[in-house]
Amino acid sequence: MLKILLAVDGSESAARAARKLIETAGWYKEPPAVELLAVHLPVPLVGFSDVVVSRQTVERYYQEEGEKMLATARRLLDAAGIKYVPHILIGQIAQTIVEHARKSGCQMIYMGTRGMTAVSNVVMGSTATKVLHLADVPVVLVH
């Protein structure tokens, strides 16, 4: 069975990637297994910040933000009847996407070309470019 990693960040580009995955899911002999992934950059903790902000608060922040990032793709996949396993990970985004694809045995990565930040919209997203360079599986970039 084909296993696909769908990397999302809550952007419209990520929603288009989810729609493209749904559109192409019928091309395969059997429905693909989908790993739905949102990656959040680590919050910089400097000095005595752990005294001011508890670890539980930071973890809750990651969970809440990750759920927001996953929400549109979850809704689209649910409506299409495509099963998936959601993940929220913390780390450097491109490296974490590729690492999760490797660890979970994904044979393909779907993602949008442009993310949530204004800087990433200037040219093809730097995350997408990094994933292309790091991945050893096909990467489907959806504009």
Structural domains of the chain in order of their starting residue, each with its CATH number: 3-142 (3.40.50.620)
How far apart are alpha carbons 135 and 5 in whole angstroms?
A: 12
Of residues 123 and 2, more confidence is placed in 2
| Tokens at 134, concatenated | 């790091």
Task: Tell me if 140 sits within 8 A of 108, measured CB to CB.
Answer: yes
Q: Could you tell me the pLDDT band of residue 86, with boundaries at 50, 70 and 90?
A: very high
Q: Quick one: average pLDDT of 1-26?
A: 97
- Whole-number percent of the chain with pLDDT over 90: 80
For residue 50, the model assigns a pLDDT of 58
Indicate whether 48 pLDDT > 70: no
* pTM given for the model: 0.90
Q: Which residue in 73, 79, 67 sits closest to 18, CA to CA?
A: 73
Indicate whether 96 pLDDT > 50: yes
The tens digit of pLDDT for each residue in 100-112 reads 999 999 999 999 9
Q: Quick one: average pLDDT of 120-134?
A: 76
CA dihedral 76, 82, 84, 90 (to 10 degrees): -30
For residue 53, the model assigns a pLDDT of 79
Of residues 117 and 59, more confidence is placed in 59
